[in-house]
Every structure is written in C-alpha cells, then in structure tokens.
Chains A and B, each alone.
Chain A
Amino acid sequence: MAENGYNPTELLICTASRQVPDNTTAFIGTGIPMVAASLAQKMHAPNLVAFFEFGGVGAILDDLPIAVGERRSFHRAVAATGLADMVETAQRGFIEYGFLGGAQIDPYGNLNSTVIGDHDHPKVRLPGSGGGNDVGSHCWRTIAIMPHDQRRFVAKVDFITTPGYLSGPGAREAAGLPVDTGPYRVVTTLAVLGYHPDSKRMMLLATQPGVTIDDVIENTGFELLMADEIEEYPPPTDEELRILREDVDKDKLYI
C-alpha cells in the first residue's frame, strides 16, 4: 500500500474516522480510536462529543491524547467527571458509538483481550477487559478496529471478554444486555465489514483499495457472509492524510 502513499495504520485511522457522523457521541479508548476521533473532529464531525473513560466529556482534540486519562482527554472539555459517570452515561443510553479492539474476533463480533489459551493456565496473558466489556455492553453501536489475519479473525475466540452478538440473534437480550445494541462495523486493514441484520454474522461490505474479496476470505478464519454489492472503499483523501500528518498526529505517535 506504500505506493499509494499511506501506510496500514493511516488507512485504519481514516476509515475508522469516517464511521462516526457529526453531532453524535462516542466512547473513545486508547490508541487508534483517539486519532480517528481527532481526525473526525477536524474533517466532517466538528461536533463529535468524545467521552473518555476516566471522566473527560466533550474535549476539543487539538492535541492528541496518548492515554484515556491524561489532560488532553479533557482539554477544553465541557465536563471533567469520573469513571462511574462515564460508564453509567453509556448504561443510560447516551453514547451512540463505541470503539473496540482485541486480539481475536469471531463471526458474531465477540472480542477477546484477556487470554490466549486456557484462562487458568494461559499461553498468553493479555491486559483484560478494561472498559471494553462496558463499551460493548452499553453503547448503541460498536466499531471494532483490527489488523486483518487468520490469527485474529477466528471461528471461536479463546475467551469472550467483550460481548458481540454472543451466540447469535436474540442472545444479547436473553443475557440481559440492553436491547438494540451491538456490533456495527469492523474496520480492518483489508476491509470494512458489518453484520447481517437477521443472522447477526459478520458480512463483508467493502474491500480496502487494492484488496480483492479473495484476499479478505483468505485472511479470515471463518466463513464470511457477502453483502449483495461489495464496493471498493474509497482510499484516504489527500486532505485527510494532510490533516492527519500535519495536524492530528504531527509528532508521529501513531502513524
């Protein structure tokens, strides 16, 4: 992708930032979501209200936060509260979008960020849920951002840290999770994916520029549903890349 003038991380950031419209709310976690939210504010969504886990509400993301609790997460914010208020605000239905990541994702969008292998004798101990489970439980629509390969896109995750559609249609509601919530998009280095409205299984919506449908299938460890029309996702624009490189992440912390 280098010949097109952007790297995979820049592609993920630009693609993720386009998923959130203006005048809405989003729960922003550490890493690429922060960069995507800042880019969105400077492009199409100046009134995107960012909620940061430890209490920052509505920051103006002039300077890129590098952690969810640092001063930039409440820079010129409308409120500086705390962790309970943020999670409870999502639990009350105020937060539309939530960004998530993980080491593994399955066809129903369940995410693992806890262990590879058995929980009590793990092969790899990962950080754990953090706010992931809360975001995946309470936000209306969640967007997972992932590199795309067979190790990460698996038929069954080793551990469900954060709920997607669990075992399928109706499973979230049966478990007691808030109704009409759940995974919305998966943004990857190869594709933009969604979920079939009935089966709740992951569905290919668009391929990233220069990527074929076969590339996506080969790098996915389970059977993907196909949208009726699979588009090629528009590449990052010159303006997006310029703002991203010269303004949003001028210190090259992420890109």
Chain B
Amino acid sequence: MKVLDEGIGKLIQPVDLDGFRKSNQSKTKQLVDKRMSEAEAVERFIHDGDYVGTELYGTVRCPMSLVNEIVRQGVKDLRMVGQGVTELDLLLAAKLVKAVDITYVGLEVYGVSSALRREVESGRVETCVEWSNGALVSRFKAAAMGVPFVPIRSMLGTDTFKYSAAKTVECPFTGDPICLIPALILDVGLIHVHRADMYGNAQIDGISGFSAEMARASKRLIISAEEIIPNEEIRKNPAKTVIPYYLVDAVVEAPFGSHPGEMCYVYERDEPQIKEWVEASKTEDGAKEYLDKYIYRTKDHQEYLEMIGVDRLEQLQTMVPGRS
C-alpha cells in the first residue's frame, strides 16, 4: 500500500498486538469473585505512566468514583485518551496527566475547560495528539478486532489528521485515499455500568457509547457498577451483557458512581455540583480547594457521598422521570 500522507502526532501507545494477545491469554477464564474497593482496584491495576481510558458520554455514566480514587492516590504521568468532561478535568487539575490522545475535552454547555487550558498552554501536558470521536472509537474497534488499524473516511484533508498519528494510504481496492487509524490498546480501561455480577459480567441501560469497543481494547479493565446482581440474573438475559466477565479484572460496587454526572434511569446529574466545579476550576487555587475538599480530604467514595449528602442524592433520584 502506498502511503500518501502521515500525521506528525506521536503514537503514544504502541500497537503491540501479540503482547495484547499474551496479556489476554494470561487473564483468568475462571468465574472468580473480583469485587474490591476503589482503593484496591486503583492500587493493583493502575500504575504511574500507564495509558488509561475512561468510557462515558459527557457527564453520563462516568467512572467518577474510580477517577476520584486515582486523584487520591496521585497516580501520575498518566497518558490518557480524552473524550472527557469532568473526569479528565479532575485528573488534569490534579496534574496527573502527561500526554493525551484528545478528541474532545470541554465542559459541554459550560464551554472550554479551564483545567485543560492551564495544563496544555503551560506545557505541563507535554503531548496532545488530535483525533475525531469517530477515529477514537475506530482505534478501540481495531484493538477489539485484534488488528493493527481500521480504515475510515473522516480526518482526511484536515489539521486534525496532520496532528494525529494516522496515515493516509492509497486504497489497494479502490485506488482512493483512505485514512488508517491505528489500534489503541489501553493499559487500563475504566467503565461504569448499571449493574454487574461479582465476576464482571456487565449490563448497561440506554445507549452504550463506546463501552463495547473500549472494554475489548483494554489489557486491564476495572468495572464500577451501581449495583451488584447475582450471576443468575445475568444468565436470564445474556443478550443484555455488554461486557463479559473474562475481560474484567476488578468489579467495584459504586452507587452514585457517576456523581456529579448522571446515570440514565437511576439519577439525574447534579447541576449545582457541576457548576461548583466549573467555577472553582477557573483558577488553579480554586481547583485545588475543590480537590482538597471533595477528594483529598475524603477517605473513599462512601465519605465523598456523605459529604454530598443523602438528601441531595435522593433528590437526584426523584428527578428521574417516573420515579418521583
């Protein structure tokens, strides 16, 4: 295949397919109880310098209890894949991120992320490699397929391509230019779900974002779940399993695990809390105070929830249509 053009962005995670296969081979296929706390899961499976991915859509179904624990433990020099709102914002504000494969890091209706601006404009985030959301999910899809790349028809002709690590080649079938997107194999993936059994079989309600692809692109996978259910419930409706147990290394029970984001059909997002972060994160000091108050000074997710308060959490549940 003739290479027509190459992005100048770094491939910040090597495409090591045989290493990935070996890693997958070494994972237990036994049904074993993988339940543990956030603290144990982060300590055992996330290390300084790891390449970490989070799955979410905006503030929805965001693995916040796990992210808060990464901040608490100060796991640093992380390389991250960024389709993110609050979770990447917290990690950036805590200065734990060194390089980002970025698609979108912003605050949606609240605009540009102050934490991202500070970290990138100061050069503390050393590397930003650009991708589109379609390219991102294609990177996971390639890894999930166990192949080095997949072809897509976006990115072409743009600076998004130029600052990516993609390549444009002459398609051997059509002769037209086509963009090849390299597989992204995560050291660690973090996914929050509606429910899982103790082995890691996981279910999601509503849209599923890029959970199926990312789960299959992760060497180590930590699942947090609103609820732990018996394996028998999984077996009653196996079509509902988005993530089968053998992909999973840790299962963390995390009610309100997406707070201050939402979990569809379970609780709504905590708008005042999100606004508090948006305001606090505008300055470095403000961000630090927020992290101190809500993360560094709380021992775990339970204490964090106690600080938010039962009344407020119940209110977020009753805001869900049909639950009031």
Interface residues of A (CB under 8 A from B): 30-31, 52-56, 66-71, 73-74, 80-84, 87, 91, 110, 114, 119, 121-134, 136-138, 159-163, 166, 171-172, 174-178, 253
Asked if A55 and B160 sit within 8 Å, CB to CB, the answer is no
Nearest to A254 among chain B residues (CB) is B109
| A175 and B121 form a contact (CB under 8 A) | no
Starting from the known contacts A128-B104, A130-B103, 17 additional A-B residue pairs (CB-CB under 8 Å) come to A30-B108, A54-B210, A67-B59, A69-B207, A70-B59, A80-B207, A83-B209, A84-B138, A122-B120, A123-B121, A125-B120, A126-B106, A127-B105, A130-B83, A133-B132, A162-B160, A177-B154
Pick the contact of B104 from A71, A129, A175 — CB < 8 Å? A129
Q: Which of A52, A71, A171, A174 has the most CB of B within 10 A?
A: A71
| A-B Cβ contacts below 8 A, count | 193
- Contact flag A81-B207 (CB < 8 Å), given A137-B153, A176-B176: yes
Question: Cα distance A138–B103 when bound, in Å?
Answer: 17
Q: Distance (Å) between the CB of B192 and the closest chain A CB?
A: 13
Nearest A residue (CB) for B133: A131
A159–B159 touching, CB < 8 Å: yes
A87-B160 Cα distance, complex, nearest whole Å? 17
Asked if A81 contacts B208 (CB within 8 A), the reply is: yes
**Which of B109, B156, B163, B178 has most A Cβ within 10 Å?**
B156
The answer to whether B57 and A54 touch across the interface, beta carbons within 8 angstroms, is yes
Flag if B154 contacts A127 (CB, 8 Å): no
Q: Which of A67, A70, A74, A129 has the most CB of B within 10 A?
A: A129
State the B residues within 8 Å of A (CB): 56-61, 82-83, 102-106, 108-109, 112-113, 116-117, 120-121, 123, 128, 130-135, 137-138, 141, 152-160, 163, 168, 176-179, 206-213, 262, 264-265, 269
Interface of B is mostly: mixed
Do B134 and A134 touch (CB < 8 A)?
yes
Shortest beta-carbon contacts, A-B, top 4: A69-B57, A175-B157, A176-B177, A127-B106
Known: A124-B117, A131-B133. A114 touches B159 (CB 8 A): yes
Residues in chain B near residue A69, CB distance under 8 A? 56-58, 60-61, 207, 209
B156 touches A137 (CB 8 A): yes
How close is A106's CB to chain B, nearest CB, in angstroms? 12
| B153, A178: Cβ atoms closer than 8 Å | yes
Let me know if A131 and B132 touch, CB within 8 A: yes
* Chain A residues whose C-beta falls within 8 Å of the C-beta of B117 in the assembled complex: 124-125
B132 partner, pick from A52, A134, A160, A176, beta carbons under 8 A: A134
Q: Point out the residues of chain B lying under 8 angstroms from A53, CB to CB.
A: 57, 133
- Chain B residues, CB < 8 A from A133: 132, 134-135, 154-155, 158, 160
Q: Is the CB of A127 within 8 A of B207?
A: no
- The answer to whether A84 touches B207 (Cβ under 8 A) is no
Interface pair B104/A127, CB less than 8 Å apart: yes
What is the CA–CA distance of A110 and B164 in the complex, to the nearest angstrom?
18
| Nearest CB on B from A137, distance (A) | 4
